Amino acid sequence: MSTEIIMGMALAGTAGFNAFVPLLALAFAHRLSDRVHIGAHYTWLSSSAGLVVMLLLLPIELFVDKAPGWDTVNDRAARFYRPIAGALIMLATTAGSSLHPILAALIGAALAFGMHTLKARYRHPLTQVFAGIPTPIASAGEDFCAALVCFLALLWPVVGFVALIVVAAVTWWLGSVVRRRVARASLDAPSVTAAQT
pLDDT tens for the chain, residues 1 to 197: 788 999 999 999 999 999 999 999 999 999 998 888 898 899 999 999 999 999 999 988 888 888 877 888 888 889 999 999 999 999 999 988 889 999 999 999 999 999 999 988 877 777 666 665 677 888 888 899 999 999 999 999 999 999 999 999 999 998 888 777 777 766 665 554 445 55
Alpha-carbon distance of 121 to 116, in angstroms, equals 8
Q: Which long-range contacts (CB under 8 A, 24 or more apart) does 142-147 make?
A: 142/17, 142/18, 142/65, 143/17, 143/18, 143/21, 143/61, 143/62, 145/14, 145/17, 146/14, 146/17, 146/18, 146/21, 146/22, 147/21, 147/25
The whole-model pTM stands at: 0.86
pLDDT in tens, 33-90: 888 889 889 999 999 999 999 999 998 888 888 887 788 888 888 999 999 999 999 9
**pLDDT the model gives residue 175:** 81
State the Cα torsion 137-163-107-175 to the nearest 10°. -40
